[in-house]
Structure 1
Amino acid sequence: MIIRNNQATRAEYPSGLRAIMNMEQAEESRDWLSCWPMLSRGATPVWQLPGLARRLGVARISLKDESERSSLGSFKALGAPIALVRLILREKNGLPLSPKGLLLGRHADVLRDFTVISATDGNHGRALAAAAKDIGCRCVIVLHRNVSVEREQAIAAYGADIVRIEGDYDASVVAAAEHAAEHGWHVVSDTSYEGYETVPRDVMQGYGTIAAELLAQESVGYKATSPYSHVFLQGGVGGLAAGVVSYLWERFGAQRPAFIVVEPVQADCLFQSAIQGAPARATGSVDSVMAGLACGETSPLAWRFLAPAVDFFQTVTDDEAVAAMRLLAEGNAEDIPVVGGESGVAGLAGLLALSEDAELRGQVGLDASSSILLVNTEGATAPSIYASLIGGPAEAVLERQRAWLLGKRAT
């Protein structure tokens, strides 16, 4: 399903939003992260998929591949560490701490009694645990009933203490806030709620790194027009979309690309927000194979950026996501095989669904001149689940990817 967002405008980036998130702070975050040992050196690749573009009748499909961002396996490695660094700098502002020094563990001696806590579906908690370990503070992660043991073990491997609850993701957010209040800990959440916006803002600002890096890779000049006509982004609580949308909107103003945000049909909080014109709850079970997007409530702060900028909100089924995973993993003579995780392929699943319906293509403005940007937000962050869904391990896909690249170099 897809819905046009009647609140979306084609105006310049508002000064009120720029005061909250802006390109300057996104670039600062990018600079700080450049020293963190957990991140890969250099930019994540932007793969071109000419075979798929021809099949779907568009000019170009580019895939920014965040599965290669870090051994953590997802884009979340950009948000949690930046939010943690900025939190510590605020809380310890009387001490001579440097952002890069924190990420390199040079101030661990003054942070042994500093504890952070967060709820997670998996990737955010893993990134926060890794950042806390390197910085030298304690980390507690709250997991709900649908988070797999495999994801729990990946988080615990970085030294985080795990708290399990019986409820869903939204219940785990409440539980994290309650534990923090009881013990004097600090919440580092990627979703906002009443009275809690500064840290989620910092998380989203970290995600702006993706857009900043992408435009540098595309050699887009300051006064150039957008190289993309359409950008498909994952939903969830809205944090990733807000981080990327805000950067591209500020950069290109009224000439920004069309934004389409995609989420699971059973976790449709953003879709419902578009219907109601305000942050809303999902109408489904919220239990989805797209675990990172299985969120029941829209982040109010993220919605402030999405409401005036996202042109369409779309839902996809689990089956459509799995089909997109398999398509990426298979590759072909023209298109490189890619490990796209369950949540990572949501944008591709949305594009495929739209392309099969002539009426929807026209509604969204997809035609032979369209240049599409997709973001693969994660790799096989739960390897056994990934293997069961595509019929083989991620390592086999990566082996095909290496062979494909060698073949291209040989020609």
Structure 2
Amino acid sequence: MKSDCRNFETKAVHGSSNFETRTGAISYPIYQSATFRHEGLNHGTGYDYSRLQNPTREELEKTVALLENGKECLAYTSGMAAISGLLTIFKSGEHLIVSDDLYGGTYRIFEQIYKDYGIEVTYTDTTIIENIKKSLKANTKAIYLETPTNPLMKIADIKKVSEITKKNNLLLMVDNTFMTPYYQKPLNLGADIVIHSGTKFLGGHNDTLSGFIIVNDEDLVQKLRFIQVSTGASLPPFDSWLILRGIKTLSVRLDKQQENAIKIANFLKTQNKVKKVLYPGLKEHTGYEILTNQATGFGSMISFYVDSKATVEKILKEVKIIIFAESLGGVESLITYPDTQTHADMPHEVKAKLGVTDKLLRLSVGIENVDDLISDLKNALSD
């Protein structure tokens, strides 16, 4: 990207290359090829086989790295593939400190897969710095944060956590899916690794899967790249192109989604059947001040508790515009029931301790007309 391009929106639209230099194509081409011809022995184009690298995926990786202010990015077939690839850098007997409230799929991979490989995990409320300090062990190697967390929207102070990791020679890993690099840049705040489920806001259209790891350390890049190439979790070219296309409108979508979310969060607060609204953009939210200091926005994810499971069932049955479906971050508004969907594999006692109850709903606010969305919720909440 040209050095005079300093603003996020322009970087998102034009990407790393601005256009494809060989043909001048504005929409970066889909190099739908598994393999590439060599002109002779030790004389090639720089591309061999798409599991190793592909020009479309390469453009996407450079673009995401640019947006996150990272040196390099690796694109994976899904967010969970990215997390799995990241966890393979740790050895049996090593210890991680992890946000206690986090996506159920991430909890599942820690507990049901990597625990069997001897990776030790301590879950704690990472919004409380003393909790992190108390969780440190001689074999601790990294801290893994979600901020905001999924689904309870807890906000960790990335800078303060990074002070702990740097003092103790640990890696700081931050899942930035909810905020995206448009609103929050963890590497600038002291993180070593940023993770995304690109399926969500980066793609933005609920039409493809992807995951990303962004890093600044060259040795770590080489280690992760070797693992990715060896295990084959590289993002295909067509999916790479879809995410590239989605990123072009990221800032426009997020601004509209956030605008809608603020209005909906305030509406939900007025409803008798709604007992508590969890949205970081509300001034009464516990993490409001921290997020204001480390991010430029609040995002469009809302969780809220209602008065009964019967109300949950009524809302999920009667919403018409808002779609009852898993996932988040797309242009369509989606409502999810964490207890039996995103956090189904989390033990009941763990969910109960966290507050992931049978009265909790999670709403991913889209770009529809906000009056239509509020009307939809009002109808579903009516007697």
**Which has more radius of gyration?**
2
Q: Name the structure where helix makes up a greater proportion of residues.
A: 1
| TM-score, scaled to structure 2 | 0.36
Structure of higher RCO (CA pairs closer than 8 Å, 6+ residues apart): 1
